[in-house]
Structure 1
Amino acid sequence: MAPTARPSERATVDKLQHAGDLWLLNADDASTLMDAVIESFRIQDQHVHHRLYVCSTAQPGRMIRSPSQKTTVVNVTPGSERLAASGLKVTHVVSQSDVIKLLWNNRAVFGPVLSSTVESLEMDDGAALTVPATLPALEAFGFMARDHKSSLGLTDGGKLVANLSVSDIRGLTPEEFPLLLLPAGEFVAVRNGVAGVTKEQALAGKRVEGAEEGKYGVLFEKAPVVTVKESSTFEEVLGTLVTKGLHRLYIVDDNGAAISIITLTDVLRLVTRP
């Protein structure tokens, strides 16, 4: 007789999402972007939200006024955000990236702060987690899951050469799972099309040139990881994040070793700091 499936094994996808609340903003004329960033993104908290959903009028019983009384935040438990269940209709999605773009387009309001350095603004305080590019991708993703991180820097001889992100497994099919056994540097190169080897060839056993010798610095010369220095200005950080469409920037020393990291959350925390 086949073993009985546990409840979690029978659950549908929408019930398996990350535990927590879906926060939605019912904006009105009194709402400000600052309210949304601080209260809906919870940007000053340890666990932030990366996007919020702007909704049409919700059922009054589900509406919670924010402390500022300027933003209506609707708290909906996962799986109940359907229109029929909550009366909510999402009209827009606002992400941290959207806010950073807005800041960049209106950067003149920052005045002298634009020329302040990463070091002087204390944006280099966070630790940059790195692993050797030779570490199996599956093991590297395991570190990310354990430490609740969305990325890891990949190093070659101590020098940062690439970034491994949770987005690198987006769309990975079960047939492609063997790619996770490749070294993380090789996995990133294949997944991002900079290896000269297709995923089909990699699955068939073809190795990326130089990977067996661990020469990942050479491999990523054509697509180097984007970095800044402690001497880089706030304007350079903002501009790089926006023009490159990035969610993070590594700070490196003169030898190319990662010493810290700047995320979109870090930037928003800086500009909304009490």
Structure 2
Amino acid sequence: MKNIYFLILTLILILLKASVTSGQSNGTPIIVNPLIGDTLSLKERDYYILFPDIAGFQTAVFYLNPDSSLSADVKYTLDGQQRDTLIKNYKNLESLNYHIYARYALDHEHPESAINIQPSDYRRGSQINIYNEGGELISGELLSVRENSLVILKPDCDEDLTNLDCITTAKNSEVNKLTIKGNSNLALGLGIGLLASLLAGAIIYAVNQPSSSNIFSNIGTTRENLRYIGISTGICLAAGVLIGILTSTPDEVVEPFTEDELEGLSSYSRYPLFEPGRLKKIK
């Protein structure tokens, strides 16, 4: 019996460990791009215009987080002393790759390579809802943020960004309220809890198999197993739901919408750095 309770406790700890480590990087430097490797030098920093606000920059080493964002361990000098700082969630991996390749292409007389990256080569933008002054609702994927407007891919539309019927724009001055859809991991948490409960049930049955030929004794053992399996299932599912809740992000609401929100909003768009040439044609 003690072994069964120990097993249930171990499964709970594993589930909680998964929820804690889901937001941590793996601790191993990652090669973010063949052009710079896993370490950004001062010369590369200046060329690719990265970390422009860090005075005394020396190097930056990148680490990949589970959500595909990058953390950067930056070394710099201040008052003649070497220091370092960890910048969490610096950029999305694909976003940084896009920036590096675009800068390289523009400087090597291949500007079309920088502005015509296919959608499959880049990340997805966040799903947003825009409420205009007249009460009109505009929904879809945020493609880019312009100085005067937001460019949106309509729902249930294909990836042909040259199709004007698939693209719409919203004037920034007419936006009253904007919501950015969050990310729910509740289904994932339930799935983890269900798998853990099945594993616990199998182990409980294997550990506490009937050892007697007496049918009444076997019935008692089976009932005991079912009770333990029921308890472990409830605990595992509850832990799974907890993991789903802890790792989910709620919808973000921007109200009222002002020009001060534009810079931060760009990080939610598919093209936060450059607009592809085909998208520039849409006014």
Same fold at TM > 0.5:
no
Larger helix fraction of residues: 2
**TM-score (ref. length: structure 1):** 0.27
